Structures are given as structure tokens and as C-alpha cells.
Amino acid sequence: MRIEEARQIARQWVLEEGAALPGFDGAFLTGSALWADPAAELAATSDVDVIVVADQPVRLGKFAYRGVVLEVSSVSELGSTHEVLSDYHLAGSFHLPCVLADPSGRLTEIQRVVSRDFAERPWILARCTNAMDRVRGFINGIDERAPLPDQVNSWLFGTGVTAHVLLVAALRNPTIRRRYVDVGELLAEHGRLDFHESLLELLGAAHLSAARVERHLAVLEKVFDAAAAVRVPSYPFDSDITPAARPIAIDGTRELIGRGLHREAVFWLVATYARCLAKRALAGEQAGEQAGEHGYEDGFRELLADLGAETRRDRRRKGDLVLAALPGVWQTAMALC
């Protein structure tokens, strides 16, 4: 179906079901389906992201609704218009016609101001600073006592937000799964593919072959299917590891590999693997079983070894390299805005 039809289906869900959630105070679109051309086809590897504003936490996650996979999460409050303009994810939504429901009229007013001021340089700098702070927060927040998936996610997302700094500077969508694809296209437009290579090097994927990434994906498929077979509602990303989410997590990665973007696919491959292991570990704890059974962690460690991030010391060293690279990331971002 067309993107616009998928958006209307999201609106329909909000009006028919979302509005009945406790403390509901509105909802808005975010993510790639908001940024995309409304006349374009919604890819089978894409979902439609909806954020509900509610005074009680809501995380419905991914679920199928009238032929579309929706991903629904919530925020309790948005803050002031200036706070929204300074937040690179929120501002990225509100500079476009994102509002799906707005009982109080406040979301519409925020959208009006953000769309007007979004491209002003002081706000661009504020959002780039917001992204830089997130890099530091993730890297400095690595807890070496935490379970392996949590340690890896702190390093991985801290590294991956470097791509967001550049996308935000250029007023592009700070996409989640395709961040390295989109930042590569952006840097190619500006004749800076050398810097794209440096970002991939920080991730540890610059040298990987398509065959090697395909091998890791084949292992991940088995882990994903095993994790998708159990329900762990207490895990925040439970719905990301389900049969309904498989086209996004697995097929979307395979599609990138097929397009020669295997190195760019590595980020989400690692994130998905970590989530699978975290979900299975939590399911095992609840069932009184041993976490990491069937050797599923072995493939993860092999993937991390290929990225130079297998041990705590490796991840700390790589995190330090990311922090050391931030002045160059900032300088490049400033040249893009």
C-alpha cells in the first residue's frame, strides 16, 4: 500500500483504540513513514511508528493492524516547545504534519512552532549537541557488570548515534535501523565517503565481506526464531522479536546485504542479536532455566570478535575511540548544516 494509506490506518487505530488508553492526551507519527513520500510504497520491511502522549506508560510495541505493522510507544509529556526543538527525535517528528489526535490542541501548537523554526541554525546546533550528549551518555554508561547484551547495546548505540549527529545537522531523518545507509548517502552527496568509512571503522564493520555478514545473519535467524517463540511481556523489546517483526529485523537486513550494503546492515544485526539474547535470558529466568542454552551466545561472541568488541576491554577501548572521534564528527556535522 501507499505510505499515505498506512498513515491513515495509523490514525484509525489511534481514534478507535489508542484514544481509549488510560490518560490519553494525543498521538503523533514519527519515523520513516512520516518522513517518506506519501505516494511511495510502504516497504514490507517497514513499520509505522506512533507515539501516544499519556500520563500512564504505554508500550504496545509492534503489532499488525489492518495490514500494517504499527509500533506504538508513549511519552508522558513533551516539555516546552523549545525543549521539543532541542530534542533531535521529537523535533524531527514535529517539523512535519505528524499529529494524529490532539484533544487539547497542544500538539498542533507545538507542530506549528517547530515546523516554523526547525531549520534555524541555533536549533540545529542544539539538536546536534543533543545527539553528541547521547553518544557520551551511552559510552560512559557502559556497565561492565551488566549482562553481555546490555554492555554491547551501550557501546553499539553510543557508536551508532555518531551517524545521527550528521543526519541531524543536514536536516535528515535520524533513522534507527538504516542509519548507516542514510548517512552514507548523505556523505556521498558531499564528497565525504572517506568519513563514512571512518564511521564504519568505529563500528568495526569497515573490513567485513558480504559473505561474512551473510553468515552472521544465518546464525541470527535461528536465534531470532527461538526467541520469537516465547512471550516475555516484561521485556521492553518483546514485540521486536516476534514472527510479525521478522520481515523488519531479518528480511530488512537481508535486503541491505543484497544491495551491497552489508557493512551498513551490521548495526541492526548486532542490535537484534542482543535483543534476542536478552529476551531469551529473561524467559529462562522466569522459567527457572539456564540462560544462553543451545550455544546461542557463541554466535554473538563470534560476531563481536569480528567487530573487535568481544571482551569488556575491547568494548571499552572501542568506546574510547568513539569519544576521541567526536571532535571530528562535530566538525563534519558543522560542514553539513
* In contact, 38 and 4? CB cutoff 8 Å: yes
* Tens-digit pLDDT profile for residues 29-40: 999 999 999 999
Q: What pLDDT does residue 286 have?
A: 58
Q: What percent of the chain is modeled with pLDDT above 70?
A: 97
Q: Report the C-alpha gap between 258 and 253 in whole angstroms.
A: 9
Least confident span in 54-58, 136-140, 157-161? 54-58
Q: What pLDDT does residue 294 have?
A: 53
296: confidence class by pLDDT, cuts 50, 70, 90 = confident
Q: What pLDDT does residue 75 have?
A: 93
**Closest to 314 (Cα-Cα) out of 173, 2, 322, 7:** 322
> Which CA distances in Å does 248 have to 19, 156, 159, 162?
27, 19, 22, 23
pLDDT at 288 over 60: no
Q: What is the CA radius of gyration of the chain?
A: 20
Least confident span in 155-159, 166-170, 288-292? 288-292
pLDDT at 291 over 60: no
* In contact, 150 and 313? CB cutoff 8 Å: no
Within 8 A by CB and 6+ apart from 75, the residues are 51, 52, 53
Helix axis angle for 121-140 and 148-169, nearest 10°, is 170
184: confidence class by pLDDT, cuts 50, 70, 90 = very high
* Tens-digit pLDDT profile for residues 221-261: 999 999 999 999 889 999 999 999 999 999 999 999 999 99
Within 8 A by CB and 6+ apart from 31, the residues are 47, 48, 49, 71, 173, 175, 176
* Tens-digit pLDDT profile for residues 73-93: 999 989 999 999 999 999 999
Q: Report the C-alpha gap between 2 and 6 in whole angstroms.
A: 6
Within 8 A by CB and 6+ apart from 317, the residues are none
Count of residues in the chain = 337
- Tell me phi and psi for residue 208, to 5 degrees: -75, 140
Q: Report the mean per-residue pLDDT for the chain.
A: 95
Q: What percent of the chain is modeled with pLDDT above 90?
A: 92
Q: Averaged over 29-54, what is the pLDDT?
A: 95
Handedness of CA 215, 217, 218, 222 (dihedral sign): positive
Q: Report the C-alpha gap between 14 and 223 in whole angstroms.
A: 33
Place of cell 514519527: 30
Q: What pLDDT does residue 268 have?
A: 97
pTM exceeds 0.75 for this model: yes
pLDDT at 293 over 50: no
> Which CA distances in Å does 74 have to 71, 263, 329?
10, 32, 31
Pairing of strands 68-75, 48-54: parallel
Q: What pLDDT does residue 17 have?
A: 95
Q: Averaged over 260-286, what is the pLDDT?
A: 93
Q: What pLDDT does residue 57 have?
A: 81
- Tell me phi and psi for residue 75, to 5 degrees: -130, 150
pLDDT at 58 over 90: no
